[in-house]
Structures are given as C-alpha cells and as structure tokens.
Structure 1
Amino acid sequence: MTSPTPNVKNFGLNDDILDELEASLSADRLGKYLTATGGDRAEAVRLYTWNTAVSAAFYGPLQALEIALRNAMNRELARVYGPAWYDSAKAGLDSGCLARVDQTKQGLRKDKYPEDAPHVIASLSFGFWVSLLGRGGVIDRKTETKANYEMTLWRPALRHAFPHATNITRKKVHQPLDYLRTFRNRIAHHEPIFTRHLEKDYLRILETAAWIAPHKRAWIEAHSRVPEILETPPDDDNLKF
C-alpha cells in the first residue's frame, strides 16, 4: 500500500517523510545541508528545497547569457574567417577546441543532423565559447606549437562581440565568464550553491550580458525570478521550484 501524498499546500516534514527523502537524496548529498543546519533534518531538507529553487531561477539568465554570447562571438568569427571558421587554419584553434568541434560533428552525425555551421554552432558548449577567450593551448604536441588567441581571435574578431564594454580586454572578459562557466556547471550537476555570494553571481550575469547587448540585460532583469528567490528564506514552506 502506498503512503498518502501530503497536502502540497501544507507540506509537513514528519519522520517518515524525512526518512524517505533522505534515502532518495542519498546521505552524502543531504550531508552537506545537514552540516549547514547543525544536523537538523527538517531544516536541511528546506535548505535543499531552497537550493533547488534558486538553481532553477538561475537557469533562465544563464541560458540567455549563453545564447547571446554564442551568437555574438560566432557573428564576429564568421565575419573574419567565414561561416565554418572553426575549420579554418587561420583561426588557429588549439587541439582541445578542435577535439570539441570534432566531437560535436560526430554527435550530429550520430543523431542524423547536418554538419553545417548552424548545427555545429548551436551544439558547441558554453565552456567551448569561454575557452576561445583564453590564451589558447597547444596546437601541435609534437612541435609544442601554441595557439595565440589574442592575435588570431580576440583582436581581429572577438573584441567586437562586446561593443558596449569600455576599456575591455580579453582577460577582463574571460575572467567573469569563466567564473560563470563553473557556476553553471555546479547548477547543471545539481550541486549546492547556497554558500556562494549569489547576488554577485547574478550581477556578473547582468554585467556581461550588457557588454553584448544592454537590452538583453534589461530583458533578463524583467523576467528573472532570482531576486525574488534570494529574498525568500529557506524556511518558507510555500517556496516553489
């Protein structure tokens, strides 16, 4: 016989519910929340719920930033090196990036999608785009030839992807975006983010989006639930995710 479903409008956390939730979440996962709440299981579950809600709220702004970044960078690289710039030797992509492009093409072939530029571009990860703003790694391991993204990507193309930033450099763009890449990955892997300075994370998203398109920042702010969730205490039993 199955247990009755608690009233979602007044969800109580009795011992039976806490036992089942702890088993389904795993002791290791819930352990981080138990540590934060001094071993109080009910408070740990509430904190886990809040962490889930705030992670879900961040998904939209991060998605908006990723798409804006991808489209802006692709536009400028295509202007200089052509639509399939990722295949151009002149772009000087390092071995790591070339491997990611190859994996992307393999995935498209496997799923029977065209290997044209629109599909390749749409399938490349956020981490790939952020890596193009780094220094560049090894191109040829035999000769130890290294990429120079400052000269092949940033100066001729990528600096133009951030037209609304002042006194911008490749390093100044790469640092916050790489930080947001790790933040995004923590959310994607369902990790705790409640110990982070989430207000600053949100501001970084807004600032970098504004470098690309100020109206995109305004659009994110108009629709984002992040401020609302950040103002909601974890012990609010009406919290929804």
Structure 2
Amino acid sequence: MANVVQQSLIEQLRPVISDERIGTYLTAAGFDPDRALRLYIWNALVGEAFHLPVQSVEVALRNRVNRHLVELFGQQWWQNDTFLRLAGRKRATDIETALRRIRNRGAVLDTGQIVATLSFGFWSSLLQKRYNPALWGGRLHAAFPDLPPNQTRATLSQRVKRVADFRNRVWHHEPILKMDLLAEYSAIMELLNWLCPIKAGWVRPHCRVATLMRQKP
C-alpha cells in the first residue's frame, strides 16, 4: 500500500521534477518508488552538506589569488592595463560584468566587492597554463604558502577545476548519488588544506558529508 501511495506521489511530481530526473532515482532505487523518493531527498541534503567545504575553498582561493594580484598589479588590479592585457578578453569581460552588477546594486566599487562578485570560474581560470609564467613563475609557493612542495601550478589547477566542476553540479541541483562522494569530499578538504590548513581544521568538525553518506537510503 505504501508503494502505491509513493508511486502516486511520483506521478504527481513528474511535471515539476521531469521524467528524466525522476527516472534517475527510480533506476537507482531498483524501481522502488518509496526508496526513489528517499534518494531524491538524500541527494538534496548531501548536496547541501557540501556547501560548507566548497564555499570554504572558493572564498579561500579567491582571497589567496586576490592578494597575489594586489602584490603584482596594485590594489585596483582589476583596472590595471597590464593585468587586463594579460588576462585576455574573456576575463576582462568577467570583470566588466562584475562592475556592472556592483553598480546596479548600488554598492561601493572597490576591490572587496570585485573579489566577492567574480565567479569561481574566474579565479580558477587564472591558474591555467596560459598565465604561467606571467602570474606564477617563481611565485606560486609565495602566493600559496601552504601548498606542499611536490604540488605544482598544474596540479593545483587540476584540483581546483575538479572542485569547481563538482560545485557546479551540486549548485545546479544535479544528481550526485552515483558519484564517489567521499572521494570528492576528500579532494575538496585536501585542497582547502593546501589553501589554508588552519581554515581546514576549523571547518572540518562542522562538515556533515560523512554523516549523511552513512544515511544513504
């Protein structure tokens, strides 16, 4: 009887969830409608639990990179012609978009607002090979003092991209139940440790990913 009720609920939810998305959970649940619905809620909750470690990485990364850019190009690096030429058209467009958004909300136009408004994609892109050595040659470990000696700009960039890709999947409410979430969590926390081990140690006790993993239906 319970499954009949849950199947009826699934049919009522199809117009607002979509056949494809609900089908993902039905398949994962062996077509048990009750488990499918519990998996759907669990997927949302575990995605929510990733918010703390991911935003911790994002904020730490943008502040590390911002400090480095300030040292190279001055406090208003986002207006510096040398930086803008180096950054290229796409990154300059990102900055123009950020400036427009700041003006539209009537906020003070300063570096703090620029840093907060630019996307994770902007910050992660600055670690790409094309910006080496101009940004990072001989300066990587000064900019990231807690990065282990055996890690390079390439490995840091790859890890940031992995976290950014996972973040985008979670932030766009995609199913993550088939992924190795403990591996993703470990990768995120290791990156946070590279960015600032003090912050990693502070955040870790408050992360609920492992607890929710044990509660998977």
| TM-score, with structure 1 as normaliser | 0.82
Q: 1:109-152, CA deviations, whole angstroms, 9 ceiling, x for partnerless residues?
A: 2222222211111101111100000123xxxxxxxxxxxx1122
2: CA distance, partners of 1:48 / 1:198:
15
2: CA distance, partners of 1:21 / 1:39:
16
SS at match of 1:154: coil
Q: Which residue of 1 is the match for residue 211 of structure 2?
A: 228
The answer to whether the Cα contact below 8 Å between 2:53 and 2:188 also exists between their aligned partners in 1 is yes
* Aligned pair partner of 2:51 in 43, 55, 59: 59
Unaligned runs of 5+ in 1: 1-11, 137-148, 235-241
2: CA distance, partners of 1:158 / 1:45:
47
2: CA distance, partners of 1:229 / 1:13:
26
How much does 1:20 deviate? 2.6
Q: Is residue 121 from structure 1 mapped to residue 126 from structure 2 by the alignment? A: no
C-alpha RMSD of matched pairs (Å):
1.8
2: CA distance, partners of 1:29 / 1:15:
15
| TM-score, with structure 2 as normaliser | 0.90
SS at match of 1:152: coil
Q: Is residue 93 from structure 1 mapped to residue 87 from structure 2 by the alignment? A: yes
Deviant stretches of 4+, over 4 Å: none
* Aligned pair partner of 2:124 in 105, 117, 130: 130
What aligned pairs does 1:1-241 form with structure 2 within 5 A after superposition? 14-91=6-83, 92-136=86-130, 149-155=131-137, 157-165=139-147, 166-234=149-217
- Paired amino acid for 2:35: E
2: CA distance, partners of 1:95 / 1:172:
25
Structure number with greater Rg is: 1
- Bigger share in helix: 2
Identity of aligned residues (%): 36
How much does 1:225 deviate? 0.5
The answer to whether the Cα contact below 8 Å between 1:133 and 1:174 also exists between their aligned partners in 2 is yes
The answer to whether the Cα contact below 8 Å between 1:90 and 1:152 also exists between their aligned partners in 2 is no
2: CA distance, partners of 1:83 / 1:207:
30
Task: Report the number of matched residues.
Answer: 211
The answer to whether the Cα contact below 8 Å between 2:52 and 2:207 also exists between their aligned partners in 1 is yes
The answer to whether the Cα contact below 8 Å between 2:7 and 2:33 also exists between their aligned partners in 1 is no
Change (3 A) 1:62 1:192: same
- Paired amino acid for 2:132: E
Q: 1:52-97, CA deviations, whole angstroms, 9 ceiling, x for partnerless residues?
A: 1110000111011111111111111101211121232333112111
- Paired amino acid for 1:111: R
Unaligned runs of 5+ in 2: none
